[in-house]
Amino acid sequence: MSTIRIAALLLLVILLSACRGQPFEEPPRFVQPNMHYQEKFTYQSENRFFEDGRADRLPVEGTVPRGRLAVDVALHEGLDENGNFVTDLPLDVSRSFLMRGGERYYIYCTPCHGNAGDGMGIISQRGLIAPSFHTDTMREMPYGQIYSAIYNGINTMGSYRHQLDVEDRWAVVAYVRALQLSQYASEEEVRALGIDPEELRAQMAE
């Protein structure tokens, strides 16, 4: 046999010997294990060092989070000092704030409450119901209650607190109010904005 043939055969044996056709059963070998293996307590595990035997410890009493400190209950929960829903927006409304609220509204609320807030979102075509915002109850609902629906959820509606941070929640609340006004303004109110109701009607009819 020529050297080339032997070399080729050897190469074939080496290559094929790597094909085991089944997964490795042994743990992988680490040349440099870094800190893959170490003595530690994972969550929910036991630690006899403590009297209660739990490895998880509660924060020391009086601990405050760094950064956003949620002490402003009106802002963070929409409640006043007596635990009632606030009746005012705790943040200033600007055009960009409303626009932001509208954007978030279209992302998170339209599937159920609909673009116009009339409860005719896509789910209404699938046999599910979400309420319209254009009823007296909804129009009279304090700001804090709308906030609470977003923050805590209500009955079958889940909470959106993780999708929306505190400013965004209020921006959506402001937008819901704007939607309500857009469907329920008197002629006087429309005139006060310098808009002719007759012209508006004509435009709508087009």
Q: Helices then strands (H, E): number in the chain?
A: 9, 0
Site residues, ligand HEC (CB under 6 A): 108-109, 111-113, 130-131, 145-146, 149-150, 154-157, 160, 172, 176
Q: Which is nearer to ligand HEC, 157 or 185 (CB)?
A: 157
CB of 31 to ligand HEC, least distance (A): 51
For 13, the 3-state DSSP assignment is helix
Q: Which is nearer to ligand HEC, 5 or 126 (CB)?
A: 126
Q: Which is nearer to ligand HEC, 54 or 134 (CB)?
A: 134
CB of 154 to ligand HEC, least distance (A): 5
CB of 190 to ligand HEC, least distance (A): 25
Looking up tokens 């998170």 gives 108
CB of 111 to ligand HEC, least distance (A): 5
Cα angle at 75 between 140 and 165, to 5 degrees?
A: 100
Residues 169, 199: Cα–Cα separation, whole Å: 35
Q: Which is nearer to ligand HEC, 11 or 129 (CB)?
A: 129
Q: Which is nearer to ligand HEC, 111 or 197 (CB)?
A: 111
Copy the structure tokens of residue 85. Answer: 């829903």
CB of 150 to ligand HEC, least distance (A): 5
Residues 142, 6: Cα–Cα separation, whole Å: 88
CA 104 to chain centre: 10
Which class for 157: exposed (0-12), middle (13-18), buried (19 or more C-beta within 10 A)? middle
